[in-house]
Structure 1
Amino acid sequence: MPNKSTRIGGASGYWGESAMATPQLLDAGVDYLVYDYLAEITMSIMARAHAKDPAAGFAGDFISAVLKPHGQAIAAQGVKVIANAGGVNPAACGEAARALIREQGLNLKVAVITGDNLLGERDAIAAAAPTEMFTGAAFPDKEKIASINAYLGAFPIARALAEGADIVITGRCVDSAVTLGACIHEFGWSASDHDLLASGSLAGHLLECGPQATGGNYTDWEDAGDISNIGYPIGTVSADGSFTITKPEGTGGCVTVGTVSEQMLYEIGDPQAYMLPDVVCDFSNVEIVQTGPDMVRVSPAQGYPAPDHYKTCLTYGEGFRGGTYMSFYGFDAARKAQKFCDNVFARANRILRGHNLGDYSETSVELIGAESQFGDYAEVNEPREVVAKIAAKHSEAAAIGILLRELTGLGLATPPGLSGFSGARAKPSPIVRLFSYLTPKDAVTITIDVDGKKIAFREAEGQAFDPAAITRPQPPQTPDEPDATVTVPQIQLAWARSGDKGNKANIGVIARDPAYLPYIWAALTPESVAKRFGHFIEGGADAAKIEKYYMPGSHAINFLIDAVLGGGGVASIRNDAQGKGYGQILLAHPVTIPAALADKLDDQKGISR
């Protein structure tokens, strides 16, 4: 077994992604295809669809765009398929898959894993009234709840594979579980193999967002080349937990230390306590090395025993939101746009009062191309073109409808330069908020249905996690200031990737060269980062809302910023409600380095000095 390995292709990162990955990865030759379709908002959308139609509530494109056109090739090549395409209705997804398999005359066994969907226990959960695990907020009105799902792990998937399943369909599991389940099955890893489970989870974390590991969303984006034909990632995982990341030959994109490091830091909090149902992961000492063109080797991670609870995410409705984008160009474009937005709200507010609807609970105006994204650090000199994003929240859909009507109704009274491209007028949409809490593992009943054979699965109990057990690495020593220095934007010294964690945002910063890291560490203090994002943080530039973590293995820093996304997801009316561009803001942060070290920058990417 020490030399055994398995090839796993990451074929989907979200519901609605391009269908190009499956044939590409089948042609490249893989043992497993894994698909991640779900996010918290996706669950609420599927829950609403299921409420209208009992046969709906799953990712239909898994059937229509994966199994229907490629089922014959999957069967012929003996490729195993694992997907959380079940959404809130994995049984219906499984039946659709089985019907298609019968229609095509294939010999493929389908397993369906259920137990994550706790919506049927809503009343009992509401009576227990757990508080929100991050903010301490009270339990929401149970009548407004759209979905409740515990995040299951990988061991049920491994058991389904052991029962002979060729296709495994789950509801809500953690994103990386579709990969880890394959590894557990292939290598016989047990619940006590904490380091191996953490390593397999890291492989899954790198594959779960598809081409984000192969040049998508990459700081050095031009290196990705032909993204119309971007390659999807393949992880070749070994029994010792190490693995390589590559992509199919002849495809666009790139696999580099930068692309893989960025994805490792994407959407994580404490890198030494990345909590999953099967293991608590420590990524701090993971090393990432280029071993060839478009091939990167990742060393094993470390792990702690699994927690004794499942993270459980509940979504609920909280009124409505709406807005749109309008552009202005010419002289004084920003001032014209601001005046337009101010007067739209003035007119809409008068109508609200006339209908006794009350004020908007939150409004937002962002002038994109002016100073809205970079705050006090924007370097804009009388822009000649801006896009005004204007939005609001209200408890009543009618109030949002009034705003959207006045946005277009003021069109003939505006300052000059109004323009835009649109079809039908925007409509009010529900605000869906996220509420996270913990469910004891023994309170969740998991069932595996392998073509009619039903197996009750019992999860290992786990144990309470003790953060005091973590040994934190010593941070880089603050360098002595040399006689001659050069100040450069951070993009010349580092890669960065950002994402959302509810109403928090994380920003991972990876030094292009280990020699740069002490200077980056010294420059990026909680205070300086808070100041740079003060226009986004609720309450202003509060350094207490910044957590800073050191990852010596990858020469990286991870920042976690609290209360910075205006609620996050579709609860937010921000232009960037998921913090996807926050890394770009931090890459403009100045860093002072010795003049002698600046010679290394000549061959680096980024803004010219």
Structure 2
Amino acid sequence: MSALTADPDLIRIGNCSGFYGDRFAAMREMLEGGRLDVLTGDYLAELTMLILGRDRMKDANLGYAKTFVRQIEDCLGLALERGVRIVANAGGLNPAGLAEQLRKVAAGLGLDAKIAHVEGDDLTGRAAELGLGAPLTANAYLGAWGIVACLNAGADIVVTGRITDASVVLGPAAAHFGWGRTDYDALAGAVVAGHVVECGTQATGGNFAFFTELADLGRPGFPIAEIRRDGSSVITKHAGTGGAVTVDTVAAQLMYEIQGARYAGPDVTARLDSIRLSAAGADRVRIDAVTGEAPPPTLKVSLNTLGGFRNEMEFILTGLDIEAKAELAQRQLEAWLPVRPAELSWTLARLDRPDAATEEQASALLRCVVRDPDPNKVGRAFANVAVELALASYPGCSFTTLPGNGSPYGVYTPGYVEATQVPHIAVLPDGTRVDIDPAAQTRELVEVPEPELPQPWPHGATRRAPLGAIAMARSGDKGGNANIGVWVREEAQWRWLVDTLTVTRLKQLLPETDSLTVTRHVLPNLRAVNFIVEDLLGKGVAYQARFDPQAKGLGEWLRSRHLDIPRELLA
């Protein structure tokens, strides 16, 4: 085993992709921008696996992130010249195919690159045997030890399939420091650093609630994790790049798409309630004191199926009698349909205002969404009927959408299998196949009891104001569930927030959540509360249950809601 850098006590790991479709030039920007030891990229998400699954249906040789191949064509020589290893999960459903394609790219460029890959996550062929049904794709979340084996064998590039997002960072760190499988605190520290940088510029000012405080958000730089032997890290970015790295931008990414205080993975469970954040200089934030525990005995499996076909038509309602106009259009359309689809739903968005100065401000939107296993029932048979209302319905009838055929939609569900049932194979640069054992020590995952809460802030004079006047938030999707993380800067604000923003109050502020199961988790070290809203997103992102199918704006909606806030906290 050899270290990946000249410094035995530090490894500098950058990120150049937070999703499939992220900034193409980021790989070159990161390689040219300053010193790195490893460059990582996260290309996979629940929706991406469905997209790649449909690619593979058309061509069995596909199933990987095609943009990654073009990035390597552009940057492989530069990476080799600078001694930067590249680790990415761009292999998607076909890491072996991607590795082979990269070898062809290297040969075409006349470069000697050692390319390895990790496989075993694809359980599609065994789904029924494992009790997972008959999905289009079934991929277990593997951990980092396959990456470790590839890097220790001298790989310049390691591509994987469905691993946990943080594994692309944990793998290089574990290889460099020679960590063992039970060095849980160090492993957990690297997992937290990986979680911070995995979504690219979301750690450097992107999607940041207090974005108006940032001097330069024109083109945020991508993040870098400087990880030390004990698992502590400093999050930073290349000098001269846009955006900012602050305690709050790092906290924002820590709150993204999490559940409770235990952040479980196949290699370690990180305790999010142990994290300490502190400023360590300009655009430098230290993460330390992270504690880890043995991982759970099961692996999460990403299951995607084709749920059927979907279509929608959106009516514009202008001026007076909006509710009556919507009722008429709904009644007519449902009566005129020759065959009713399996699912038919209506949403009225009251964007209109009285005595509006523009026609757009006087208008509301009425959306009808239909789904059915039969594409004919949601195709022209639906859309043409909607258009036929144009001259036969409410005054001013018009549409934002054109009639068209339905399109297939996906359904995401999580599954769980025993880790011992899932192969984890490192295919080294010379073709040697190495089996990676699952964790020998495991621990069942249970919720952390709510910690002792601080004394509530004393009641005094208040002012009606938006929650976002003092609080930041970040929201996202996890299958059909959404999370909303909310945090504040000051201890006094924290005492008020944790006492005030209960599940009951959240449901009052966000009425769409009132009938749903909502759970609150308290993270005192971050002065944060995290809410899990179950089933808000229906059957996952591809199902498009809401106009905001990934719940990206949910936290901002919460911040915009008004409540009585103590005046001294607002000051």
> Which residue does 1:230 correspond to in 2?
220
| Contact persistence 1:280–1:306 (CA under 8 A) | yes
| Contact persistence 2:145–2:436 (CA under 8 A) | no
Matched, 1:457 2:435: yes
Against the structure 1 CA distance between its residues 393 and 188, is the aligned structure 2 distance closer, same or farther, given a 3 Å change threshold?
A: same
- Note the C-alpha offset of 1:595: 3.5
> Which residue does 1:361 correspond to in 2?
343
- Note the C-alpha offset of 1:467: 4.8
| Contact persistence 2:521–2:529 (CA under 8 A) | yes
Against the structure 1 CA distance between its residues 408 and 18, is the aligned structure 2 distance closer, same or farther, given a 3 Å change threshold?
A: farther
- Note the C-alpha offset of 1:276: 0.6
Which of 245, 258, 261 is the equivalent residue of 2:251? 261
| Contact persistence 2:8–2:177 (CA under 8 A) | no
Q: How many residues align?
A: 558
Residue 376 of structure 2 aligns to a residue in which SS?
helix
Q: Which residue identity is paired with 1:403? A: F
> Which residue does 1:488 correspond to in 2?
465
Matched, 1:294 2:283: yes
- Note the C-alpha offset of 1:152: 0.4
- Note the C-alpha offset of 1:406: 3.5
> Which residue does 1:284 correspond to in 2?
273
Matched, 1:443 2:421: yes
Matched, 1:349 2:334: yes
Give the Cα–Cα distance (whole angstroms) in 2 for the partners of residues 490 and 194 of structure 1.
Answer: 37
- Note the C-alpha offset of 1:531: 2.7
Mean CA deviation greater in 360-369 or 558-567: 360-369
Which of 269, 275, 286 is the equivalent residue of 2:264? 275
Q: Please give the root-mean-square deviation of Cα atoms over the aligned residues, in Å.
A: 2.6
**Residue segments in structure 1 that go unaligned for 5+ positions in a row:** 131-139, 372-381, 600-609
| Contact persistence 1:282–1:303 (CA under 8 A) | yes
- Note the C-alpha offset of 1:370: 5.4
> Which residue does 1:52 correspond to in 2?
58
| Contact persistence 1:118–1:150 (CA under 8 A) | yes
User: What TM-score comes out, normalization by structure 1 length?
Assistant: 0.85
| Contact persistence 1:487–1:592 (CA under 8 A) | yes
Give the Cα–Cα distance (whole angstroms) in 2 for the partners of residues 218 and 365 of structure 1.
Answer: 29
Which of 479, 488, 501 is the equivalent residue of 2:478? 501
| Contact persistence 2:214–2:243 (CA under 8 A) | yes
Give the Cα–Cα distance (whole angstroms) in 2 for the partners of residues 9 and 418 of structure 1.
Answer: 52
| Contact persistence 2:391–2:397 (CA under 8 A) | no
Which of 155, 159, 176 is the equivalent residue of 1:186? 176
| Contact persistence 2:317–2:326 (CA under 8 A) | no
Residue 453 of structure 1 aligns to a residue in which SS?
coil
Matched, 1:36 2:13: no
Against the structure 1 CA distance between its residues 341 and 161, is the aligned structure 2 distance closer, same or farther, given a 3 Å change threshold?
A: farther
- Note the C-alpha offset of 1:474: 1.1
Matched, 1:246 2:236: yes
| Contact persistence 2:537–2:549 (CA under 8 A) | yes
| Contact persistence 1:520–1:591 (CA under 8 A) | no
> Which residue does 2:88 correspond to in 1?
83
- Note the C-alpha offset of 1:367: 1.2
Which of 519, 522, 527 is the equivalent residue of 2:496? 519
Q: In the TM superposition, what whole-angstrom CA distance separates every residue of 1:296-337 from its partner, at most 9, and x where no partner exists?
A: 2222421110222211121112222122555555x34xx54x
| Contact persistence 1:361–1:392 (CA under 8 A) | yes
| Contact persistence 2:8–2:176 (CA under 8 A) | no
| Contact persistence 1:194–1:304 (CA under 8 A) | yes
| Contact persistence 1:490–1:520 (CA under 8 A) | no
Which of 377, 382, 404 is the equivalent residue of 1:403? 382
Against the structure 1 CA distance between its residues 224 and 324, is the aligned structure 2 distance closer, same or farther, given a 3 Å change threshold?
A: farther
Q: In the TM superposition, what whole-angstrom CA distance separates every residue of 1:554-587 from its partner, at most 9, and x where no partner exists?
A: 1111111112223331123310122111101221
| Contact persistence 2:314–2:400 (CA under 8 A) | no
Matched, 1:310 2:299: yes
> Which residue does 1:378 correspond to in 2?
none
Q: Which residue identity is paired with 1:349? A: E
Residue 69 of structure 1 aligns to a residue in which SS?
helix
- Note the C-alpha offset of 1:156: 0.8
**Residue segments in structure 2 that go unaligned for 5+ positions in a row:** 354-359
Q: In the TM superposition, what whole-angstrom CA distance separates every residue of 1:23-71 from its partner, at most 9, and x where no partner exists?
A: 221122211111111112211221222122111111011001x101111
> Which residue does 1:99 correspond to in 2?
104
Give the Cα–Cα distance (whole angstroms) in 1 for the partners of residues 490 and 563 of structure 2.
Answer: 14
Q: In the TM superposition, what whole-angstrom CA distance separates every residue of 1:502-526 from its partner, at most 9, and x where no partner exists?
A: 1111111111222201111121111
Against the structure 1 CA distance between its residues 255 and 325, is the aligned structure 2 distance closer, same or farther, given a 3 Å change threshold?
A: farther
> Which residue does 1:212 correspond to in 2?
202
- Note the C-alpha offset of 1:387: 4.2
Residue 76 of structure 2 aligns to a residue in which SS?
helix
Matched, 1:8 2:13: yes
Give the Cα–Cα distance (whole angstroms) in 1 for the partners of residues 55 and 314 of structure 2.
Answer: 28
Give the Cα–Cα distance (whole angstroms) in 2 for the partners of residues 427 and 509 of structure 1.
Answer: 41
Against the structure 1 CA distance between its residues 480 and 328, is the aligned structure 2 distance closer, same or farther, given a 3 Å change threshold?
A: same
Residue 230 of structure 2 aligns to a residue in which SS?
coil
Give the Cα–Cα distance (whole angstroms) in 2 for the partners of residues 261 and 427 of structure 1.
Answer: 43
Against the structure 1 CA distance between its residues 344 and 250, is the aligned structure 2 distance closer, same or farther, given a 3 Å change threshold?
A: farther
Residue 236 of structure 1 aligns to a residue in which SS?
strand
> Which residue does 1:124 correspond to in 2?
129
Residue 575 of structure 1 aligns to a residue in which SS?
coil
> Which residue does 1:606 correspond to in 2?
none
- Note the C-alpha offset of 1:364: 3.3
Against the structure 1 CA distance between its residues 218 and 596, is the aligned structure 2 distance closer, same or farther, given a 3 Å change threshold?
A: closer
Q: In the TM superposition, what whole-angstrom CA distance separates every residue of 1:428-483 from its partner, at most 9, and x where no partner exists?
A: 2223112222111221122222234222222233455345684642122223323x
Q: Which residue identity is paired with 1:213? A: A
| Contact persistence 1:101–1:107 (CA under 8 A) | yes
| Contact persistence 1:31–1:80 (CA under 8 A) | yes
> Which residue does 2:191 correspond to in 1?
201
| Contact persistence 1:367–1:386 (CA under 8 A) | yes
How high is the sequence identity, in percent, across the aligned residues?
31
| Contact persistence 1:243–1:299 (CA under 8 A) | yes
Alignment of 1:538-557 (within 5 A): 540-541=514-515, 545-557=517-529
Matched, 1:162 2:140: no
Give the Cα–Cα distance (whole angstroms) in 2 for the partners of residues 71 and 327 of structure 1.
Answer: 51
Against the structure 1 CA distance between its residues 414 and 232, is the aligned structure 2 distance closer, same or farther, given a 3 Å change threshold?
A: farther
Which of 22, 28, 31 is the equivalent residue of 1:17? 22
Matched, 1:533 2:510: yes
- Note the C-alpha offset of 1:96: 0.7
Against the structure 1 CA distance between its residues 411 and 71, is the aligned structure 2 distance closer, same or farther, given a 3 Å change threshold?
A: farther
| Contact persistence 2:426–2:436 (CA under 8 A) | no
Q: Which residue identity is paired with 2:125? A: G
Residue 280 of structure 2 aligns to a residue in which SS?
strand
| Contact persistence 1:368–1:389 (CA under 8 A) | no
> Which residue does 1:585 correspond to in 2?
557
User: What TM-score comes out, normalization by structure 2 length?
Assistant: 0.91
Residue 284 of structure 1 aligns to a residue in which SS?
helix
